[in-house]
A and B are shown apart, each in its own frame.
Chain A
Amino acid sequence: MNTFRAARRVRPPGRALRMIVGLATVVALAACGPGVAANSGGGSGEPTQGGDITFLIDSLGDTWIPNNSAISSFQGHIWGHLTDKLVYVDEKGAVSPWVGESWEQNDTATEFTLHLRKGVTFSDRTPLDAAAVLANLDIWAKGDAARGINPIGLFPKTYDHAEAVDAATVKVFFKAPTLGFIPTLGYHGSILISPRTIALPAAQQADLANDLGSGPFVLSSWKEGDSVVLKKRADYDWAPAALEHQGPAYLDSITYKLVAQPSVRTSAVQSGQADVAYNPSPQELKSFADQGFTTATPRYLGFVNGFAVNTKVAPFDDVKVRQALQHGIDREEIISTVYTPDWLPAESLFQSNVPGATDHSADFAFDAAKAGGLLDEAGWAKGADGVRTKDGKPLRLTLYANPYLATSKSVDELIAQQLGGIGFEVDIQAFDVVTYGERVKVNSPSVAAYEVTRSFIDAGIVAGVLTDANKGENWFGLGQTDPKLVELATGVASAGTVDARASLLDELQGHVLQQGYFVPITQIVQRVYLQSPKLHGVSYNGIAYADYYAAWLG
């Protein structure tokens, strides 16, 4: 910092006139920021104890009621440090023990037995035992509508009940095969909360100070919409083996501070006032990396970013038109224009780190000539203005930019150009979150292409979204008219082992993509981090949250 100050003269302050003359340079100032004093960070050394870090975040989300917020992109950071989970899921989707030390399941994946680690306590010293796990399972599965508590989204709807065998053993029963149960316990929603907290009414759970977990950090202070300060828990001793560190955390405290302006967040890290800036713009990452900062773009487990095509909406009821959409999109151009090489093109409808995802990129590879040929075959002829028509109707598609993904509109604009080249007339509608939620829905007759961004832990979730069998979400408007898809989805849902399911999942991905039901674009990076080079040992779990339990300052 001192070398920087000496090296770079700044105009004397207090001259109002000069300041105003300098207004024009504000953008340049914000973009450049102060340079970083080159810091090798002593990265090779041993972890050191102590230290405080500041994490600048763009929003602290809506509420702290654990069930109603644990799934939120923003709160997920804080819950990850305040609470533990039954299992740990790493960035490759591998499941390993945590508070659940081991587990067994029956042949049909309808009964699971969880053996709990002994000696785990919540931060008020009450034990995290079988009774506590039962209370959590019940509230995750059912919520409590009478007290304004939601169930956990994505918790298996097949849950029947759970019972305690002894203080350290829980048996969980499902109404149907539920292979995804164990991985789901590592999902960011499945946080273990003290039964005392669970018993509180919503208005009291909304006060983060009342929400007790068993994690490596405890709440030091918080201010709604402003900041959350965590401090290390000295007697923490039950970290997942996967994190390669045991005992208390190295860092003394983590401060999450809300700073809405992206340029202020990144400049604060550049000037050494903060250690982490969340969600800087993808295009800026390279320049930060060149200046010696750490950047991270972990992918999360889930569906890739892409379009679920509503086959009920003409002309997308024609498989050739759907396939033309798939082949008409140049994914490499999207990555080089909107993103950086840290982003990857889609290979399937799942992100490639999902266990069970297989590479089907050949089925939807970019090939403008092939796309044009398919449209010719389908009877869509190109007019003088470049737009294809059939029976006097233009080949039209409306894209609705996803408000949950900041880069969605830029990607859609590029796709509109690319599809325009092969004869589509594409227009883009961008709504705020509220309007989007009202107007743009799966199965809406006005939405031919619904943009998907959804994380999950277990690929078995496809069984519940692709068709309307068992109250499924019916993404493609097919109902159960495609018997092969229903058969494959049912097979995935009822499989008793992961091995038995693997080939069905592969076949299902191939079928969905060959039929053009889903148009994959890129693998999602929804969480982007800019970090001080002094910070080491950060890990990212399967949902791409940064975990600072084993992190240290050097």
Chain B
Amino acid sequence: MNSDYAEYAVKRVLQAVVVILLAYAFTFVVISVLPGDPVTNTLRNPQNGFTEDEIGRIVSYYGLDRPVHVQLWESLSRLVVGDLGVSLRSGLPVDRLIGDVLGSTLLLATSALAVALVLAFAIGFGTQYLPKRYGQGLLRAFPSLFLSVPNFVIGLVLINVFAFQLGLFRVIDSEGGLATFFAAIALGIPVSAQVAEVLIANLDHEAGQEYASVARSRGLGQARLFLRHLLKPSALPVVTVIALTVGELLGGAVITEQIFGRTGIGSLVERSVTTQDLPVLQAVVTLAAVIFVVVNLVADLAYPLLDPRVRLADAKPREREEAS
């Protein structure tokens, strides 16, 4: 098993490196074929009234007049030594830009994940044990409802009600505790939908199993049955779903951060996309690829730990089957 594990780990790490480099090069090519760049765009703003000669000299300083493959090669060589370059838009080093905002996004994403999990498990429990007349059926509609309400609508409602009407938090203090909490709710709600869907389906499945009927017939309380017998097997596939929601969390953060006035990876991406700030976008895409790959790797490794019956060798097939 140890040599299996080593081979497995090496393969995954190599895969990850390839994914990251491809993401990097792909971003470069896509952005480079689009017309314009932030330096030229700023200089060409009619308010400035610069001559072509003046524009040309600055563009040349940034190396933007060189062929795309030369620029890509230089960019890749810099990446290898850990130099992420300088933002074309702001002129600040890219690692500083990312360092400034990464913490805020990680806090938002993990809080949103916590919100999503609490919501999903509450809904899951409710669908099993809430009496029918108190809306058990209605609870089952929640995941699709959560998915269909746009993220920004939830955000605007939360801000209007809790910031402006109730005064619980201030929009200017966007990184404050309560502001972060409500932003996490806005981001967590759509994510909880996916987790809840999978959880409900598995709870239904497990509740119908023989061992559950036996437990019930022996007079086991509902809460104990849920916690001791149904939860663990039903929660396993949730780990896979959580790994898949990382993309959702990062993507949703773009909008949530905008609405709540937070500065994070999302808002950095938004600004960099609109201005075609290539070095920043490449760094962010690379970072997202790293996070995605690492989280999925961790999920794969955690799987056998949660269920000792799952051996490493057959961890992958099971994961695929359950996730689909």
Contacts and interface: CB of A to CB of B under 8 A. Distances in A.
B partners with A: yes
Query: How big is the B interface, by class?
Result: 35 or more
Interface in A219-262: 223-227, 255, 257-261
A34 interface: yes
Interface in A143-171: 143, 145-148, 150-151, 153-154, 157
A203 B91 contact: yes
A153 B50 contact: yes
B90 A64 contact: yes
Contacts of B268: 225
A7 interface: no
A129 B76 CA distance: 46
A62 B165 CA distance: 33
A273 interface: yes
Interface string B25-59: 00000000011101011111111111100100110
A433 B34 CA distance: 13
- Interface size on A, as a range, is 35 or more
A473 to B, nearest CB: 8
A271 B165 CA distance: 8
Given A10-B166, A23-B149, A207-B92, A261 B60 contact: no
B102 to A, nearest CB: 13
B41 A71 contact: no
B161 A10 contact: yes
Nearest to A145: B57
A105 to B, nearest CB: 23
Interface stretch (B8-16, B208-216, B240-248, B256-264): B256-264
Contact of B263 (A225, A435, A437): A225
A34 B57 CA distance: 52
B36 A68 contact: no
B219 to A, nearest CB: 33
A254 B27 CA distance: 39
Contacts of A197: none
A433 B258 CA distance: 20
Contacts, number: 181
Given A71-B47, A259-B261, A19 B160 contact: no
B5 interface: no
Contact of A274 (B49, B51, B58, B172): B172
B145 A435 contact: no
Given A264-B261, A268-B164, A22 B157 contact: yes
B167 A206 contact: no
Given A13-B166, A153-B48, A19 B43 contact: no
B42 A62 contact: yes
B93 interface: yes
B296 interface: no
A288 to B, nearest CB: 15
5 cross-chain pairs, A with B, having the tightest CB-CB distances, nearest first: A153-B48, A206-B91, A226-B263, A145-B57, A434-B36
Interface of B: 34-36, 38, 40-51, 54, 57-58, 60-62, 86-87, 89-93, 97, 100-101, 145, 149, 153, 156-157, 159-167, 170-172, 174, 258-259, 261-263, 267-268, 271, 274-276
Interface of A: 1, 5, 8, 10-11, 13, 19-20, 22-23, 26, 29-30, 33-34, 54, 56, 62-65, 68, 71, 73, 143, 145-148, 150-151, 153-154, 157, 202-203, 205-207, 223-227, 255, 257-261, 263-264, 267-268, 270-271, 273-274, 404, 432-435, 437-438, 452-455, 471, 473
